[in-house]
Chains A and B, each alone.
Chain A
């Protein structure tokens, strides 16, 4: 699952939690412009696919690496 509030998602027992951006825009960030937003969203979804491929024993957090567009 993608959550902008990983501590809550993990506490509630989410086993594969990918850290989203913000509650208002969990999968992306419009302030990065259309291309930056789409690139960030894609990385979040890719991280989700990695999480699905990863064996876990208990609630586990998967962070999304920062890309070019978020380095200011």
Chain B
């Protein structure tokens, strides 16, 4: 439809194919047809998400397509986010959906479970992306089982399934090590996501005047786990009051972390969140004061993307509360 000047276009439906959909029509070659196209400016989609999501939901409910193709969005961030949401909303209605994203498109973080084919950075790769999307879409719409990402050619969705390999892990690991030592190419079976380098914060020299915040990834929660913090694979964080609390008693707090033997921490939650010691130092004037809440999540199989978001949100909650230094206990 156009570029930045139409980014605020609200969702609108068109019968049949529009824009890249016409290429799609020819790729389908009679094996299906483009029934309808939903057009929306990526600015609008991201600035008025509720309205945009509702438009997608209503459109899907009415049309009930056999397959949804979103994008391809290439490396365009806002467009990628929109396409990922479309895939998610289609998934909610059990409608197969495919998009095309550059591997670094931030839209992948919105809904990593989306089936996305790797696309070029720009629309110069339109034809290849549409071909790959159509081929993958056909497989999905056909209801057949898809193989792993590296076999089928879509971007990894962060899902691991049990399966058999020809040779045991020990042999494969030794082969990999030998290849690495002899400078030959090899491929890891478990890619590790790279961490961002975070510049160290400046020291807080006068702690006697400072407000300290307490944070833990050790899943210390009020007894009964009111927010139902998960034992593993948590995506969220919680905050709980510390006002007028001198220590964390086993009668009122527990540890729900599922990544280690947590009975010891249940018997004395201060072993993970050292409130008793911090209160003593506060009384003695070593720190100005302790913030009146602590922040908590479960650091066990938490996706890096969620870790980053939780970290940002916790930091921002602490800053809002006037916290100048934080003590984080990781388990």
Q: How many residues of A contact B (CB 8 A)?
A: 36
With A24-B265, A25-B265, A41-B270 as given contacts, are A12 and B286 in contact (CB-CB < 8 Å)?
no
Query: In whole angstroms, how far apart are the Cα atoms of A9 and B329 in the complex?
Result: 11
Contact B198 A15 (CB under 8 A): yes
Which residues of A in the span 36-69 have a Cβ within 8 Å of any Cβ on B? 37-38, 41-42, 44-46, 48-49, 52-58
Contact A1 B277 (CB under 8 A): no
**Which of B195, B268, B281, B329 touches A46 (beta carbons < 8 Å)?**
B281
Return A7 CB to nearest CB of chain B, in Å: 13
| Residue B196 is within 8 A (CB to CB) of chain A in the complex | yes
**Which of A14, A26, A30, A42 touches B281 (beta carbons < 8 Å)?**
A42
With A24-B262, A26-B218, A53-B203 as given contacts, are A13 and B281 in contact (CB-CB < 8 Å)?
no
Closest to A11 in B: B195
Return A35 CB to nearest CB of chain B, in Å: 12
From A12, A37, A46, A52, name the one whose CB has the most chain B CB atoms within 10 angstroms. Answer: A52
Contact B203 A24 (CB under 8 A): no
**Which of A3, A25, A38, A55 touches B203 (beta carbons < 8 Å)?**
A55
Query: In whole angstroms, how far apart are the Cα atoms of A12 and B200 in the complex?
Result: 13
Contact A49 B270 (CB under 8 A): no
Which residues of A in the span 18-36 have a Cβ within 8 Å of any Cβ on B? 20, 23-28, 30
Query: What's the A-B contact tally at a CB cutoff of 8 Å?
Result: 103
B interface residue count range (under 10 / 10 to 19 / 20 to 34 / 35 or more):
35 or more
**Which of A9, A16, A30, A37 touches B330 (beta carbons < 8 Å)?**
A9
Return A67 CB to nearest CB of chain B, in Å: 13
Return A27 CB to nearest CB of chain B, in Å: 4
Query: In whole angstroms, how far apart are the Cα atoms of A13 and B194 in the complex?
Result: 11
Q: Return chain A residues, CB-CB under 8 Å to B277.
A: 27, 38, 41-42, 44-45
With A4-B331, A13-B195, A42-B280 as given contacts, are A26 and B272 in contact (CB-CB < 8 Å)?
yes
Contact B286 A27 (CB under 8 A): no
Query: In whole angstroms, how far apart are the Cα atoms of A56 and B202 in the complex?
Result: 8
**Which of B207, B273, B274, B276 touches A52 (beta carbons < 8 Å)?**
B207
With A13-B196, A49-B287 as given contacts, are A23 and B331 in contact (CB-CB < 8 Å)?
yes
- Interface CB pairs A-B, < 8 A, 22: A1-B328, A1-B329, A2-B329, A3-B330, A14-B330, A24-B261, A24-B264, A25-B272, A26-B331, A27-B271, A28-B268, A28-B274, A37-B268, A41-B271, A41-B276, A42-B277, A45-B274, A49-B287, A53-B207, A55-B200, A56-B200, A56-B203
- Enumerate chain A interface residues (CB-CB to B < 8 A): 1-5, 9, 11-16, 20, 23-28, 30, 37-38, 41-42, 44-46, 48-49, 52-58
- Enumerate chain B interface residues (CB-CB to A < 8 A): 195-198, 200-205, 207, 218, 260-262, 264-265, 267-268, 270-274, 276-278, 280-281, 286-287, 325, 327-331
4 closest A-B pairs by beta carbon, nearest first, are A15-B200, A1-B328, A25-B271, A27-B274
